[in-house]
A and B are shown apart, each in its own frame.
Chain A
């Protein structure tokens, strides 16, 4: 049975819902088909399907799963069956078994003989001679399938078969209403030459004609011809037209996806298929370049030019042997069988991990945590919180004696009474780090004085305070707390939705000269412009995080960065949707020692930002992008210039990331430790392999949503140290390491006293 693996979302909207709902018994085919028709409000009625449903359902050979599916769809299969030959043809040319199946499935339709009959029967009863599999109906549809097939031979057969099967499922659904299919043609998805006449044109299109990836203009207007054909249901031309259209549309979808893959496949297998496709790529890239304003500083524009030239070199280098170092958009990487993960020894789990796991399982039996160093306490707490076994008894153990560091990444289990009880009797005089994340249930204004702020000197040594999610804490409560903790260096008040800009004023009034780190992510009641004056008072601020604050505008950035930007080491602007390139310009110009920047989910940023960043922030070690609209070339050029010192890079859902970025990563990112390429669907196995084998410092690679990556990469790469997360099912929390190991991120505490 076909396995419904996750598949890439096709660009054509109407299809996927149908495809999913597809497992109908023969009884309900009409229902399924009626839905599409009504959705597109086609004038055509659904008469064909009910009439022919009966005739078809009986003749399905049961041996083939595909034919079973097809047969259940009734008459629409008529269209599908003929659509299949095209795909069949291609498949047969390279994959004998599959093609045989498909051929047989064609025979499902009424009037076909089983076992390779060449006759298509039309509704009107006439027969259309089907030529040899290679000469079947719509060669272009087959051609499109060719691309699919080529991919099949490269070892992605399951995925591609999926697509074909899915496309046929789609065909079945949509064949009933030809208007619908043709309407998606109208959307311009068809990319193949239109055949207007069945028999004669078949000859010309047989074999050999390689489908161009780019759509000749005349094809788009082919839909005009179709209505006339469509109205004439009984004719050969109309039906073949339908089939061709369907295959054409689906093939174009495949072609669209596999464009770049085809380029590499060519290197490996030396066929001429994608030659034309490649020639198209440089022109497309150049168009992208032209659109962007050329006001980048010199080195960056040089880098961009180099990258553009890579694409131009494509044609020049096209015939040359693939010897790996050619700087073209093609990636030359061959999986190394036998090396890499399989070759290296399986490491035994460390004794520390083993004992921690047993401790977590038997947490209730722990009698005392004295003499356990803080690092181990934090590890234990983290594992306990992750497995929801943390309770107030363990909290008592943690708080016994005079603890120095308490890190609870998750306090949602802690009730207010428990919190009060535990902290009332806790000796906090040596406490340097207090992290009570998600403590909203426990911490409110009225129990701060009795627990944490029992006296004005109750927290003398506290340098790091994290009270995220304290939604009942108001400015007044924070004021009491802060007055007891005069040595605070790092304050995390994320998601404290009750706090207003007054809270920042409080911090500025008492901690102006000492505060180094401030996190106010998602504090919805804080208006950025109102807190600006207080922020400017913080003299030594190193880390500012205003993620999710919609009120952060270019004006805010301009004023704050001009005042305090030169000392900033980390800036988190994730989700500040109003920011534009001008903010990045100012940041790049002023924040010369910036080490970490997060500009995820800021959709208005363009490639110009990269130009500024590349020339400005020379110390950038961590860059996080998410759902940005940057182009492949801009990222590649940035990496060429600044990739050497980069340790952490996240390109999550930056859809245009492609082979230029991969090449730049491989060449430049010697120090890259953590890389997030989730949802970057343009990267192929080869590109991934090149990246992983070249970035020898890489330890973590996140590939969520990259369903195009197969075992060719996973088993073929030779980097034994890298951990690949996100492709197989694995416990997620294991990969989220504790955020900070030391109290402060960029300075040590002792250096400030």
Chain B
């Protein structure tokens, strides 16, 4: 993966997730951060920090991004979510507009 096509999502604990830009753009919030004019640090460095989202949840969210891309390309599978993650995942998804 080339550097220009990726973004880095950083969780609350500091764990970093490097994913494709296209996948990250599934989230409206991230899309706005990366594409809005104004020279924001996120857009320049390609890094977004989420101090309220834990690593487990962020990992699941990244998995969701890729699943969503797959789904819209035609491969419609089921996205499994462990029930114990659901509440936090819901709140993170709400924040990320995804």
Contacts and interface: CB of A to CB of B under 8 A. Distances in A.
Interface of A: 345-348, 350-352, 354-356, 358-359, 362, 365-366, 371-373, 375-376
A383 to B, nearest CB: 11
Interface in B10-32: none
Contacts of B73: 345
Interface of B: 61, 64, 67-68, 71-74, 76, 79, 81, 83, 86-87, 89-91, 93-94, 96, 98
Given A358-B83, A362-B83, A352 B71 contact: no
Contact of B90 (A345, A359, A365): A359
A356 B87 CA distance: 8
A647 to B, nearest CB: 23
B61 to A, nearest CB: 7
Interface of B, helix, strand, loop or mixed by DSSP: helix
Nearest to B82: A358
A375 B94 CA distance: 10
A346 B87 contact: no
B94 A352 contact: yes
A355 B95 CA distance: 13
Contacts of B96: 351
Contact of B79 (A354, A366, A371): A354
Given A348-B68, A354-B81, A362-B86, A372 B91 contact: yes
Contacts of A356: 90
Contact of A351 (B61, B72, B76, B83): B61
Given A359-B86, A359-B87, A346 B72 contact: yes
A358 B60 CA distance: 15
Contact of A355 (B68, B74, B81): B81
A366 B87 contact: yes
Contacts of A372: 87, 90-91
B74 A346 contact: yes
Nearest to A368: B87
Shortest 10 CB-CB distances between A and B: which pairs?
A348-B71, A351-B93, A355-B90, A348-B68, A352-B93, A345-B72, A355-B86, A355-B89, A358-B86, A362-B83
Contact of A350 (B76, B83, B87, B93): B93
B72 A373 contact: no
Nearest to A359: B86
B98 A350 contact: yes
A371 B88 CA distance: 10
B76 A365 contact: no
A354 B93 CA distance: 10
Nearest to A358: B86
B87 A351 contact: no
A346 B90 contact: no
Given A346-B74, A371-B91, A373-B91, A365 B83 contact: yes
Nearest to B89: A355
A350 B87 CA distance: 15
A346 B81 contact: no
A362 B89 CA distance: 14
A380 B47 CA distance: 32
Contacts of B81: 354-355, 358
B48 to A, nearest CB: 17
Nearest to A380: B90
B91 A351 contact: no
B91 A376 contact: yes
Contacts of B90: 352, 355-356, 359, 372, 376
Nearest to B68: A348
Contacts of A362: 83, 86
Contacts of A351: 61, 64, 68, 89, 93, 96, 98
Interface centre among A347, A350, A355, A375 (most CB of B within 10 A): A355
A76 B96 CA distance: 70
Contacts of B93: 350-352, 355
Interface centre among B87, B89, B91 (most CB of A within 10 A): B87
Nearest to B27: A351
18 contacts: A345-B72, A346-B71, A346-B74, A346-B76, A348-B71, A351-B64, A351-B68, A351-B93, A351-B96, A352-B90, A352-B93, A352-B98, A359-B87, A366-B87, A371-B91, A372-B91, A375-B94, A376-B94
Nearest to B71: A348
Interface centre among A350, A365, A373 (most CB of B within 10 A): A350
Nearest to A351: B93
Given A345-B72, A347-B72, 12 more contacts: A345-B73, A351-B64, A351-B68, A352-B94, A352-B98, A358-B81, A359-B87, A359-B90, A371-B91, A373-B94, A375-B94, A376-B90
A359 B61 CA distance: 17
Contacts of A366: 87
Nearest to B63: A351
Nearest to B98: A351
Contacts of A354: 64, 79, 81
Contacts of B72: 345-348
A292 to B, nearest CB: 51
Contacts of B68: 348, 351
Nearest to B61: A351
Contacts of B89: 351, 355
Contacts of B87: 355, 359, 366, 372
B77 to A, nearest CB: 10
A552 B79 CA distance: 54
A305 to B, nearest CB: 48
Contacts of A373: 91, 94
Nearest to B95: A373
Contacts of B71: 346, 348
